Amino acid sequence: AQTVTQSQPEMSVQEAETVTLSCTYDTSESDYYLFWYKQPPSRQMILVIRQEAYKQQNATENRFSVNFQKAAKSFSLKISDSQLGDAAMYFCAYAGNNRKLIWGLGTSLAVNP
Amino acid sequence: NAGVMQNPRHLVRRRGQEARLRCSPMKGHSHVYWYRQLPEEGLKFMVYLQKENIIDESGMPKERFSAEFPKEGPSILRIQQVVRGDSAAYFCASSPSGYGTGGNEQFFGPGTRLTVL
């Protein structure tokens, strides 16, 4: 069975600086997708970025980028120029052949002014 | 285009009562997923439905829980005879395409927070 592990329950970053959130996963599938979702205090789940496993190029979305290491089964999220609005829970998620999302336990990110 | 809508946003039930959670997918989306989030945990998949069909219910408890997505109207997650352990946030997501179509993004509703007294 697939698993997703986020080893950092809590992280903090100074405003305008860069932070990296870690995610590792375990799977025997070769075709899959990886996602980072943000859950602010409103509890709305918002997609931040996604990565197709067959693509070698790391996905980027404005200040958000990933470091996808397929062999190591690692999928970290880098947030550049952190803003106060980035404070939230961040979840890493995996979708394999059956497309249902398998979730990590989340990392709570605090942004200090 | 309105997003995924869930109601109620908060639901309080006493032990033994029934809870009905509703989810209206985004316009044009025919695939609905339900997830449960316990306090301090990530989301856990419960069930995946297409119009009038349950595609995958592998995450759904065998007893007391049921889900439907009728031809007309919202998807309903029904919990009978609720217990305190059912207290959680229940999220619904929808997508325009389901399995085998390439990891299409699932769009999430705001969730229903169920509290069982």
Residue that has been written with the tokens 């005879």 in this structure: B81
Name every chain A residue with its beta carbon within 8 A of the beta carbon of B101. Answer: 99
Contact B75, B92 (CB under 8 A): yes
| Among the listed residues A46, A25, A39, the one whose alpha carbon sits nearest the alpha carbon of residue A104 | A25
Rounded Cα distance between A35 and B93, Å, is 15
pLDDT of residue B63: 94
Q: Which residue has the tokens 């619904």?
A: B92
When CB atoms are compared, the residue of B42, B48, B107 closest to A100 is B48
Smallest CA–CA distance from A4 into chain B, residue = B42
DSSP calls for B37-96: E-TTS-EEEEEEEETTEEEE-TTS-SSSEEEE--SSS-EEEEE-S--GGG-EEEEEEEES
Query: Does B1 score more than 80 pLDDT?
Result: no
The answer, for A102 touching chain B at a CB cutoff of 8 Å, is yes
Query: Could you tell me how many helices (H) and strands (E) chain B has, helices first?
Result: 0, 11
pLDDT of res. B98: 61
Judged against a pLDDT cut of 90, whether residue A43 lies above it is answered with: no
Give me the residue from A44, A52, A104 closest to B110, CB to CB. Answer: A44
DSSP SS3 for A84: helix
- Return d(Cα A39, Cα A89) in angstroms, integer: 5
The pLDDT assigned to A94 comes to: 93
Closest C-alpha among B84, B114, B105 to residue B22: B114
| pLDDT tens by residue, B95-116 | 887 654 455 678 899 999 999 9
CB-CB neighbors (< 8 A) of B105 in chain A: 35, 47, 50
**What does the pLDDT look like over A60-81, one tens digit per residue?**
999 999 999 999 999 999 999 9
